[in-house]
Each structure stands twice: as C-alpha cells, then as structure tokens.
C-alpha cells in the first residue's frame, strides 16, 4: 500500500521549492527586481477584474502600469532620446516658418504626404482633395485646400514652376483588397489627371504613391507601371520606382506601397535613390500605443461594431486570430470556412497582433474581420488616435469629420507622414545636386518585367529607361 505525500524531486526538493528557485534564477538572468504590494480585498478584486478585461495577468498588468508611470516622469532630455517616429513633427505647418522649396499636392487627403514634406523643408502652395471630411482635417492642421473634383478643377498658375508634385491617386481600383477594376473604375484613370498636372506645371520632381497591385495591373498587354513610367520619361523625367516597406523607414507598421519618383533631366539636379532601410527595435505596438491615455486627442473615439464581431474579437488571444477560438464557439459561417480552409486560402480573420509585434497595414476600409485592428491587450479595436500613431501622425494632429468612421478612413488612406518625410529628405538632397546612387545597385525595367515574379522590398529600386542599349539581366552600375 502506497501513502501519497508531497511530491518531491530526485534531489529532495518539493515542487513549490523548485518553482521558487526557477523563478529566482529567471529574475537574476533578466535582471528583474520584485516589489511586494499590499492591498485590501476590494482593491485586489478590482485589479483582477481589470486584468481580466485586458486579457492579461496580474503581474503583467502591474508591471506595465508601473513602467508607464516611470516613463511619463522622465525628463524632457530623456524623452528626446526616445526619438519616437512622430517626434520630428514638432508643430503645425500653419505656425511654422516660410519654406523655400515649393510643393504641389494632389489627392492630399488629410495631409500625410504634406506633413512629411513640410517638415523636410517644403511649402505646400496648392492642395486638393474631394473628400470634405479630409479637407476639414487638412485645414485644421496644415492649411488651405481646394475641395473640388480634380478632373474639373482649373490647373493653377504660378510665377515659378514648383519644385515637387506629389500624388497618391486612389488605390482601390488596383488593390487586391479593393475592386481590382483598374481603369474600368472611374478612379482608375485619375493617374492620367495627375500626369496632366505634371505636363502643365512642369515640376522639377514628381512622386506618385499607390498599392503593390499597381505593379501587376495591365492595360491590354502593357503593365500600367510601364505606361506611367513611359509618360513621365516623355515629359522629361528620369524615372525610378520601388516597393517600400514602411516599417523599414521609421514607421511602426508593415505597410507595402509602390513609390514612383521622376527627377527632371537636368545636369543641375542630382541622382535619386530611395532611402536606405533601417533597423529599429522600438516599433512594436508596446512602444507605439500602450502609453496613450484618454487625455490625448481622438483617443476616446472608437468605431462601433456589431455585437457578434465584438464577441468573436474578444475571444481571440493576444498574438492570435480566429483560428485560436475553439471550433464549437465559432459562428456557423466561420465553421464552414474552417471545414474547408484550403479553399479559402487559410485566411487570418480577426487578427490580434501581439504587443511586441509591429502592427499590420492600416487600411481605409478598417474591417475588424479582415484587418489586424484589435487592441493587443484590451477587448476592443484600435481608437482613432492609436491608428494615427501607427501611421506616425503626431498627437497634436486633430482629426475632424462628420463620423468616427470617416476619421478611420482618412488615416487609412494617408501616406505615413514619417515615410513621406524620409523620401522628402532624399528629394531635397537631389534638388541640391547630390548624387544618392553612389555605390548602390539597381534593377533595369527589363529585369523587372522579364523576371515573371513580383517585385520584392529587397529588390531596391527599378530604373526605367526607354533606351534599348541597356543590357538585359545586368544590374545598372552607378
């Protein structure tokens, strides 16, 4: 007959002692100190409730709260050392000094492109967008804007031609997540309107931005990207384009976008190259949004979801998706998808990024099912301010609009201001005559078109030229 007693290991220690020693070894290895806090039962129960609502442990809740308190009490000098992505935007263009370089902005939206270019040394002398809510935000934070249809607006005249024209023409016609109707969509021909502005204003430089789908879209047998590059080439520009991952350029977001840059064919202007990728370890959601409080502009604004979406989202653990929800708790529609998941290409519905991950792409649609818009540790989606931070808008930038949904759309449509700033610095250097291509390698357009596979972020820039003297399958020396 065996008498059960306390479980002990081979060395005679109880399980409790072993756990205690293991925790002590972990604290020593990670240089963690412990703090003992005594509270009454009522307070303890409240803390447990908050931890449950935030889907975290008591230890993690108290640790993150104490860390936030200590960070908020740092000196201004220490705060500057953090160099958060939006820190470069110290003030509104409305109250800043006069800039020497001039900027024309088409499809301006709420002003992401323009905010970045302003702080790099450009003055926006014309801006246009058709969205009245985006124009409200633009006027509040940046300056004057014409809220008219760009296809009917009169092209402005200036005493001197502008230094730069930027245009983030609508992406939905070319987006894999959008209509994909291309030029059959009324918005799909707006790139032609942008080219018409270039033809009339003759800016020294041009920057177009759009979704990755633009690279594979065809007009007849010709790629649309080739059509745009040929037009710019004939208008007198050296053209280069690239697929850019914003997270490699000081933006806390995995966001892939195509940028097309045209530089005037002139000996007085240097050669353009896209900014070099950088590595940062402070772009996670933990570093981006977890220190926000209700006093920050637009932080209390949340888009209302239907009860079922909220219920499903609340069951997804941090770092997980709908696939982590027990099958029996799924609604019938998701059960059908789960039963035949290969047919549906393994979708990641209801993605909740971990606090130590970089956020996914913020889109204008902002659908809680198809986008990773769930707060990492709270049972809700991101607030307006939280997605603004993910897009690198500064906290003083106030979003206006008739509805909260409109504010989400404005932010999702925007070019991240910090990415625009990084590109604007490159443009400014080129206008000063600097050669930014020294020691770098680029692809020819023939290499890109003949590869038969999508352009990758690691491919760097693709230099377009109509000259047939360029050898195929050979990188351009610079």
Determine the pLDDT at residue 346: 73
Nearest-5° Cα angle at 38, 34 to 40: 150
Average pLDDT over residues 51-78: 56
Q: At residue 214, does pLDDT exceed 50?
A: yes
393 assigned to some structural domain: no
Domain count, the chain: 1
Helix or strand (DSSP H, E) at 32: none
Which carries the bigger pLDDT value, residue 162 or residue 11? 162
**Chain centroid offset of residue 234 CA:** 32
353 assigned to some structural domain: no
Residue 154 to residue 157: CA distance in whole angstroms: 9
Average pLDDT over residues 96-124: 93
Q: At residue 478, does pLDDT exceed 70?
A: no
Residue 363 to residue 372: CA distance in whole angstroms: 10
109 assigned to some structural domain: yes
- Phi first, then psi, for residue 432 (nearest 5°) are -85, 5
Determine the pLDDT at residue 218: 87
10 assigned to some structural domain: no
Catalytic (active site) residue 229: no
Residue 372 to residue 375: CA distance in whole angstroms: 9
Helix or strand (DSSP H, E) at 409: helix 404-413
Domain span including residue 99: 93-280+418-464
Residue 374 is classified by DSSP as: B
> What does the pLDDT look like over 158-199, one tens digit per residue?
999 999 999 999 855 554 554 445 445 455 689 999 999 999
Determine the pLDDT at residue 77: 44
Q: Are strands 461-464 and 237-245 parallel, antiparallel or unpaired?
A: antiparallel
Which carries the bigger pLDDT value, residue 101 or residue 188? 101
3-state secondary structure of 42: helix
453 assigned to some structural domain: yes
406 assigned to some structural domain: no
Conformational region of residue 393, where left means phi above 0, alpha means psi within -120 to 50, and beta covers everything else? beta
Judge whether 350 and 322 are in contact, CB under 8 Å: yes
Q: At residue 421, does pLDDT exceed 90?
A: yes
Residue 350 to residue 355: CA distance in whole angstroms: 15
Judge whether 86 and 392 are in contact, CB under 8 Å: yes
Strands (E), 161-236: 164-167, 205-211, 218-219, 222-223
318 assigned to some structural domain: no
Judge whether 62 and 86 are in contact, CB under 8 Å: no
189 assigned to some structural domain: yes
Q: At residue 282, does pLDDT exceed 80?
A: yes
Q: At residue 55, does pLDDT exceed 60?
A: no
Catalytic residue (choose from 110, 135, 171, 205): 171
Q: Measured on CA atoms in the order 420, 421, 425, 431, is the torsion positive or negative?
A: positive
Q: At residue 87, does pLDDT exceed 70?
A: yes
CATH code of the domain covering residue 136: 3.40.50.150
């Amino acid at each position: 007959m065996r008498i059960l007693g306390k479980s002990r290991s081979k060395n005679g220690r109880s399980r409790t002692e072993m756990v205690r020693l293991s925790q002590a070894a972990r604290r020593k290895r990670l240089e963690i100190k412990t703090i003992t806090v005594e509270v009454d039962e009522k307070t303890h129960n409240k803390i447990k409730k908050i931890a449950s609502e935030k889907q975290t442990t008591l230890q993690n809740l108290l640790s993150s709260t104490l860390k936030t308190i200590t960070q908020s009490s740092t000196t201004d000098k220490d705060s500057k050392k953090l160099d958060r992505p939006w820190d470069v935007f110290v003030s509104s263009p409305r109250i800043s000094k006069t800039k020497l370089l001039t900027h024309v902005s088409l499809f301006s939206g709420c002003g992401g492109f323009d905010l970045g270019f302003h702080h790099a040394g450009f003055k926006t002398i014309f801006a246009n967008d058709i969205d009245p809510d985006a124009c409200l935000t633009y006027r509040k934070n940046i300056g004057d804007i014409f809220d008219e249809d760009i296809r009917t607006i009169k092209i402005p005249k200036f005493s001197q031609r502008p230094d730069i024209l930027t245009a983030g023409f609508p992406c939905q016609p070319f987006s894999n997540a959008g209509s994909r109707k291309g030029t059959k969509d009324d918005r799909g021909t707006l790139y032609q309107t942008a080219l018409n502005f270039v033809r009339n204003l003759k800016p020294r430089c041009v920057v177009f931005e759009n979704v990755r789908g633009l690279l594979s879209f065809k007009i007849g047998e010709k790629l649309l990207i080739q059509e745009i590059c040929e037009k710019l080439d004939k208008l007198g520009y050296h053209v280069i384009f690239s697929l850019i991952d914003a997270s490699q350029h000081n933006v806390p977001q995995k966001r892939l976008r195509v940028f097309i840059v045209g530089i005037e064919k002139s000996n007085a202007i240097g050669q353009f190259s896209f900014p070099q990728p950088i590595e940062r370890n402070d772009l996670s959601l933990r570093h981006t949004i977890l220190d926000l409080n209700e006093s920050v502009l637009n932080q209390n604004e949340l888009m209302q979801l239907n009860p079922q979406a909220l219920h499903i989202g609340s069951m997804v653990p941090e770092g997980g998706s709908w696939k982590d929800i027990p099958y029996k708790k799924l609604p019938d529609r998701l059960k059908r998808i789960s039963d035949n998941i290969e047919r549906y290409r393994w979708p990641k519905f209801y993605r909740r990024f971990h606090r130590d991950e970089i956020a996914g792409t913020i889109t204008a649609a902002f659908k809680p099912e198809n986008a990773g818009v769930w707060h990492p540790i709270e049972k809700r989606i991101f607030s307006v301010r939280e997605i603004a931070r993910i897009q690198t808008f500064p906290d003083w930038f106030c979003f206006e609009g008739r509805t909260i949904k409109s504010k989400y759309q404005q932010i999702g449509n925007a070019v991240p201001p910090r990415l625009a700033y990084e590109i604007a610095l490159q443009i400014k250097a080129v206008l000063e005559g600097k050669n930014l291509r020294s020691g770098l390698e680029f692809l020819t357009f023939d290499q890109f078109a003949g590869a038969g596979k999508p352009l990758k972020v690691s491919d760097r820039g693709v230099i377009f030229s109509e000259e047939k003297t360029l050898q195929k399958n050979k990188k351009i020396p610079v």
